[in-house]
Amino acid sequence: MTAEEAVGRIRSGMTVGIGGWGSRRKPMALVRALLRSEVTDLTVVSFGGPDVGLLTAAGKVRKLVTAFATLDSIPLEPHFRAARERGDIELTELDESMMMWGLTAAVHRLPFLPVRAGLGSDVMTVNPGLRTVTSPYEDGEELVAVPALRLDVALVHLNRADAQGNGQYLGPDPYFDDLFCEAAAEAYLCCERVVATAEFADAGGPQTLLVKRHAVTGVIETPGGAHFTSCAPDYGRDEAFQSAYAKAAADPEAWREFTRRFLSGDEERYRAAVAAFGREGA
């Protein structure tokens, strides 16, 4: 499947979960394909990074469900910040663990899961729909009932996958990509390399087989598809490019130029433009 075909399955108004974390192993090739599409009015669920930034800058996001948006080496995501300060997006701001349990509840087809996190904080006041639940046991504790974060579509990027949709991560952290896929009605997995199933064992132990084919609708081979976020061990974050992204994001004129140069063609043109950018820096 191509990135265009995957994105072609997404309708305006859908709830889309995006894997990775901050500026780490984000399915950026699929995000770029979304930018090229007509799809809009999305609810995005993400441990936010430049995926959130790019989609908000393009006006694709109506509502964002997240605990943060960061570029990691640059603490604040500039487009997310600007969109918030302009009042452009609706935000459901949850604690990191509430995100994890919301996705987990969806995976398990539960309406909610109880957590301690959130009590006493303004997460409860900025999300007036959040409810508490009282333990039926002797302790009688009143906890936050994190609602299930059900997704229409999940987009994730892994190091390797087979054509059937089994996905393998080879970096230090799986993040929550398996939860995103299992919480979604449809999941699209892009990867650095599609391999024969038998090749998985050469790259890592059985615990690296994070995503299972029953939870994946389509596989897309996108070498460099997480660029400019990190995709260890295949590549690290492209700090020079990320820094250029953040700089351009701060100024409308510079952002138009950045968009023209990097985001107005297909993935092949993006890669060529990034390669040219790399040669300038060298």
Partner 1 sequence: MTGGVTRAEYCVVACAEAWRGDGEILAAPMGAVPRIGARLARRTFAPELMLTDGEAMIVGGGPEEGDPEVVEGWLPYRAHLALVTGGRRHVMMGASQLDRHGNQNISCVGDWKRPKRQLLGVRGAPVNTLNNPTSYWVPRHSRRVFVERVDMVCGVGHDRASAAGPAATRFHDLRCVVTDLAVLDFATPDRTLRVRSLHPGVTAEAVREATGFPLDIADDVPSTREPTPAELRLIREVIDPEGAREREVPS
Binding site residues, partner 1, CB under 8 A: 21, 48, 66-70, 75-76, 80-81, 84-87, 93-98, 100, 115-123, 126, 141-143, 172-176
As measured in angstroms, the least distance from the Cβ of 77 to partner 1 is 9
Q: Tell me whether residue 20 or residue 27 sits nearer to partner 1 (CB atom).
A: 20
Q: Tell me whether residue 36 or residue 84 sits nearer to partner 1 (CB atom).
A: 84
Q: Tell me whether residue 171 or residue 223 sits nearer to partner 1 (CB atom).
A: 171
As measured in angstroms, the least distance from the Cβ of 93 to partner 1 is 5
Q: Tell me whether residue 92 or residue 217 sits nearer to partner 1 (CB atom).
A: 92
Q: Tell me whether residue 7 or residue 57 sits nearer to partner 1 (CB atom).
A: 57
As measured in angstroms, the least distance from the Cβ of 90 to partner 1 is 10
As measured in angstroms, the least distance from the Cβ of 268 to partner 1 is 32
| Contact predicate 83/89, CB 8 Å | yes
As measured in angstroms, the least distance from the Cβ of 259 to partner 1 is 22
